[in-house]
Amino acid sequence: HEAAHLPVELHPMFRFKMRAARSGKMKHWGLTSFYAENKAFVKRILKHVEVNGSTSARELSTRTTKKSSWWDWDEAKTALEYLFLTGELMSCGRGSDFARVYDIPERVLPKKILQMPTPSETEARKELLVRAIHAQGVATMRDLADYYRQKPAVVKPLVSELVEQGVLREVSVDGWQDKAYVHRNAQLPKRLFATALLSPFDSLVWCRPRNERLFNFHYRIEIYTPQAKRKFGYYVLPFMMNGEMVGRVDLKADRANSKLLVQSVHTERGVKRATINRALSTELQHMSSWLGLRR
């Protein structure tokens, strides 16, 4: 994912992506072209961080006019993001103002990780696919690709290789059009009857087609949708009850008044409000309590 936390042990598996960004093979939001046109500047920024230590974009900013939108990056921010993309800089956290703080990998990662050998692109991609199948259990080729945001076309032959090597086993799932795969050691688990409010960024829902296939649950994040076009609300949490997606709630923490506000509740087709109210109420209580909200 773009801005997900990952275990540092995965660093070697993503080095091929950093290399691709550095060589210009991988295009990203115009960062590649910015670098091509501002090489000396970008190198100066990197040198600055190496010498002076971690920095936020603001510290290096020369902006004099107001920002027009979130996406209105000045040169310093663009340079830092380019270096972040190529792995020459990493994030070592965020400041008190939310701003991402950048530093060189040598000061962010443990030595043990930096010294780990770099696998080939193919080996790295296959390792990511194996981790994906462990996470997903049963998955289509596209599901596996999506888990670490790989491209289906690139992954397709690798999945075949993993099948030939006996790492993955091809299976079919009732109601699925595409072929599915399981890990060779996969065992049929007991059915789970989980009940939980899910984060909009929960790994259970981030692969939309899989989510629709498994749970018949159509979900889109509406944080980036203009208010007038939103169907369910700004920050909507899917609600799973007894292992099924039964609805969604738009929540907001009103910290000033110590209240968890439930802005809206929607149930899926065929689900009656009365059947979810109790479980939902319990989950909302849990949530307000760990957020430290009284009501």
Partner DNA sequence: ACGAAGACAACACAAATGTG
Partner DNA sequence: CACATTTGTGTTGTCTTCGT
Q: Identity (one letter) of the amino acid at 227?
A: Q
Q: Which stretch binds DNA (CB under 7 A): 14-22, 128-136, 248-256, 282-290?
A: 248-256
Min dist CB 27 to DNA, Å, is 6
C-beta of residue 197 within 8 angstroms of C-beta of residue 283: yes
Restricted to residues 144-203, the positions that interact with DNA (CB under 7 A) are: 151-153, 201
Cβ proximity of 49 and 91 under 8 Å: no
Helix, strand, coil: what percent of the chain each, to 5? 40, 15, 40
Smallest gap, in angstroms, from Cβ of residue 191 to DNA? 28
* Smallest gap from residue 45 Cβ to DNA (A): 14
Query: Min. distance of Cβ 262 from DNA in angstroms?
Result: 13
Give the C-alpha separation, 33 to 272, whole Å.
53
Q: Which residues of the chain form beta strands (DSSP E)?
A: 55-56, 90-94, 100-103, 168-171, 180-183, 196-197, 236-241, 244-254, 259-267
The reply to whether 235 sits near DNA by the rule CB under 7 A is yes
Residues 92-111 that bind DNA (CB under 7 A): 96-100
CB 73, min distance to DNA, A? 8
Residue with tokens 């993993």: 162
Min. distance of Cβ 100 from DNA in angstroms? 4
Return the number of the residue (3 or 192) whose C-beta is nearest DNA: 3
Decide if 128 contacts 86 (C-beta within 8 A). Answer: no
Residue 262 makes contact with DNA by CB under 7 A: no
**From 41-49, 53-61, 130-138, 241-249, span contacting DNA (CB under 7 A):** 53-61
- C-beta of 114 vs 223, nearer to DNA: 223
φ, ψ for residue 249, nearest 5 deg: -130, 140
Does 56 engage in binding with DNA (CB under 7 A)? yes
Do 45 and 60 form a contact (C-beta atoms < 8 A)? yes
DSSP tag of 234: S
Structure tokens at 236: 């909507």
Residues that bind DNA (CB under 7 A): 1-3, 27, 29, 56-58, 61, 66-67, 69-71, 77, 96-100, 151-153, 201, 208, 219-221, 223-227, 234-235, 252-253, 255
